[in-house]
Amino acid sequence: MTRIGITGHCDLGEDTSALVRRALDRELAGFAGGPDLVGVSCLARGADQIFAEAVWDARGTLEVVLPSVDYRETRVSAENLHRFDGLLMRAAAVRFMPFRTAGEEAYAAANTAVLARVRRLFAVWDGRPGHGGGGTADAVAAARRAGVPVHVIWPEGAVRG
């Protein structure tokens, strides 16, 4: 069984999202679909949701780790709610971190929980240092400390928007 986690930037424009999706499709094509492919995502806007859709389209299984009980209500924007809910409904498993409210500690805990469930991490990351608080750079650093192989995906032409 191949278990892959995702971390990545939330602020991807439409063009970059398309580039990232094509790159993720290529990466996932190397793994068997169905029960042999499990994607683990926090379902944040941007890279996490693109990855979740790519896993689903590759006939893999989706597991979700949410940082807090209030994540959907407080962190998912109205324009992203339909997409978020559609992905959440497809999840084979959903785990909530033991936090009532989303914040840096909850995000870091969610990153740790994702890393504990995977054998590799895809990082849709521009390579820039983070600012703490459980962001992409922090997740990459944590994975590397834990010995989880990290595959950085930042296609040529990608920009943060």
What's the pLDDT at 12?
96
Which among 95, 75, 78 has a CA at the least distance from the CA of 10?
A: 75
- Round to whole Å and give the CA distance between 90 and 36: 17
What's the pLDDT at 77?
97
**Both tokens of residue 55?**
């896993």
For 80-130, the pLDDT digits (tens) are 999 999 999 999 999 999 999 999 999 999 999 999 999 999 999 999 998
**Both tokens of residue 19?**
């580039």
Q: Specify whether the CB–CB gap between 127 and 154 falls below 8 A.
A: yes
Domains observed in the chain: 2-152 (3.40.50.450)
Confidence category of residue 152, pLDDT binned at 50, 70, 90: very high
Residue 28's CB is within 10 A of a number of other CB atoms, namely: 22
Q: What is the DSSP string of the chain?
A: -EEEEEEE-S-B-HHHHHHHHHHHHHHHHTS--GGGEEEEE---TTHHHHHHHHHHHTT-EEEEEES-TTHHHHHS-GGGHHHHHHHHHH-SEEEE-S-SS-SHHHHHHHHHHHHHT-SEEEEE--S----SSS-HHHHHHHHHHHT--EEE---TT--B-
Confidence category of residue 34, pLDDT binned at 50, 70, 90: low
Which among 114, 104, 147, 145 has a CA at the least distance from the CA of 41?
A: 114
Task: Supply the pTM of this predicted model.
Answer: 0.95
What's the pLDDT at 47?
98
